[in-house]
Amino acid sequence: RGATEHIKRDWESLGKNKVPHGMIMFSRLFELEPALLGLFHYNANCGTTKDCLASPEFLDHVTKVMLVVDAAVSNLDDLLSLEDFLLNLGSKHQAVGVDTQSFGAVGESLLYMLQCALGPSYTAPLRQAWLNMYTVVVAAMSRGWSK
């Protein structure tokens, strides 16, 4: 219960600035797994990582990711209601060449962003609460991978 309220409160401020926070998350992700940048085909000819991150299509994806986080936070008490959506989202990611193993680095990047954004309010229980939510979301997405 307490954890849920923490997440909702964090997101009240973070969710107002989705793109800048999403950019911190994805910049971190490409540091951890640079090869993932190549899966965004529209960025094939865009020079430096910095240029890729600034492309409109990429910014759209960042917004899309943050909207999924937004949906998860809003449905935190009933994440099962997102099951079909997340399953389908998983199969779309399989189709673009994402491997479920990359979700570990995505989770680390999410936590990194939270740490940057929340500063001293980023505590161990808070980290755990976010990680729990993230784990449910990626587990549902991963069920969308056909073997």
Q: Which positions touch ligand HEM (CB under 6 A)?
A: 36, 39-40, 57, 61, 64-65, 68, 89, 92-93, 96, 98, 102, 106, 137
Question: Under DSSP, is residue 44 helix (H, G, I), strand (E, B) or coil?
Answer: coil
- By beta-carbon proximity to ligand HEM, the closer residue of 102 and 113 is 102
Please report how close the Cβ of residue 126 comes to ligand HEM at its closest, in angstroms: 19
Q: How far apart are CA 50 and CA 125, in angstroms?
A: 33
- By beta-carbon proximity to ligand HEM, the closer residue of 104 and 123 is 104
- By beta-carbon proximity to ligand HEM, the closer residue of 38 and 123 is 38
Alpha helix stretches (DSSP H) within the chain: 2-14, 18-32, 49-54, 56-74, 83-95, 103-118, 124-142
Q: What single-letter DSSP state applies at residue 147? A: -
In this structure, is the dihedral angle defined by the CA atoms of residues 139, 126, 110 and 107, taken in order, positive or negative? negative
- By beta-carbon proximity to ligand HEM, the closer residue of 91 and 123 is 91
- By beta-carbon proximity to ligand HEM, the closer residue of 114 and 137 is 137
33: left (phi over 0), alpha (psi -120 to 50) or beta: beta
User: What's the full length of the chain, in residues?
Assistant: 147
Q: How far apart are CA 82 and CA 143, in angstroms?
A: 13
